[in-house]
Amino acid sequence: MPRIHLLVLGKGVVGGQLFAQLASERDRLRGHGEADLVLVGVVDSRASWFDPTGVDPRSARDRLRAATVRAPIGDLVQQLAALGNAIVVDCTGSDAMAEVYLRAFARGVHVVTANKLPLALPYAERTELLETARRHRVALRYETTVGASLPVIGPLQDLVRTGDRVVQIEGSLSGTLGYLADEVSRGVPLSIAVWAARERGYTEPHPRDDLAGTDVARKALILARELGLTLDLADVAVEPFVPTELLAEPDLARFLDGLAIHDAAFEGRLARLRSEGRALRYLATITPTAVRVGPIAVHADHPAARLRGTDALIAFRTARYTDSPLVVQGAGAGGAVTAAGLLGDVLAIARAQRDG
């Protein structure tokens, strides 16, 4: 049974859930001979701690709160690598992680990430990440960058590896925008729906960061690159969920007031859709030639029409799945499901270690 040493980057919602799952599942995993998962360090933007003997994950946040110094991540990766069987787990949303990954790979350390930004870097930089991991015979696993714990990246890679020809991928890839689309399609005013989503913690601190569609564009780009498309983020056609002029307001209160002014016009559009038996959904559409992200009116028989709340859906239409697409659907947002996806990727690396 392999002993796996974990250095976790980030201790927010996802990191906290990961600590809880490590604490609750470690004995069971050891008992079944799966892996001995040992948390040896945590880093956030303020401080860090590292203990090569490992600590109870339930105390990870307290240890970090008590820490007063943030060691250079490169030094921590070096200490981690010395332990062997090591994984860096990225729970951040930082745009500076690619260099950390490269340092980890060079020292034989695997990386598991929920952070979309390194995978949405310019194509050459993303390629360097994958090739460096391959050259050093370590894993870069990023299943949770699209769909939280839903199996999306793995099945798509299997389709491509086995020679299937992907004709189209269509997906509702944002739990936040899925929730908003469901609410407004049922008659809730746009401004009220956005306010409620923010109160529930579904949105970024400023909801315009969700409504702009950029996060969905990054996820779509990650999927498109799995098909071999040599695209960058600028190549993704993005239509925001709301009119572009509304997104220019940096002040949150004025932004919400602007949405309220737009409520009547938005509701008029939704009323027409409802009278036609259609619903509004925010979808990514990926084909071998183009990637588009934006609001789409779907009929009742469309797979996305039945989505409720923050559920995500990805439909693969391929040469083998022609008449009936391969559909993956389920909870697509939330700290617990994202942490579970990260833990699944960690266990996949441990399994490969165990089975040699």
Which sequence positions are flagged as catalytic?
219
Distance CA 208, CA 241 (A): 9
Residue 304 CA: distances (Å) to CA of 16, 240, 301: 31, 18, 8
Q: Buried b / exposed e across 237-267, counting CB within 10 Å, b at 16+?
A: ebebbbeeebbebeeeeebbebbeebbeebe
Eight-state DSSP code of residue 150: S
CB–CB of 302/182 below 8 Å? no
Q: Is 180 helix (H, G, I), strand (E, B) or coil?
A: helix
Q: Give the β-pairing of 237-238 and 140-141.
A: unpaired
What count of other Cβ atoms lies within 10 Å of the Cβ of residue 75?
11
Burial of 71 from C-beta contacts in 10 A (0-12 / 13-18 / 19+): middle
In the structure encoding, which two tokens stand for residue 328, read together? 């993956």
Distance CA 259, CA 210 (A): 14
How many helices (H) and strands (E) would you count in the chain? 12, 12
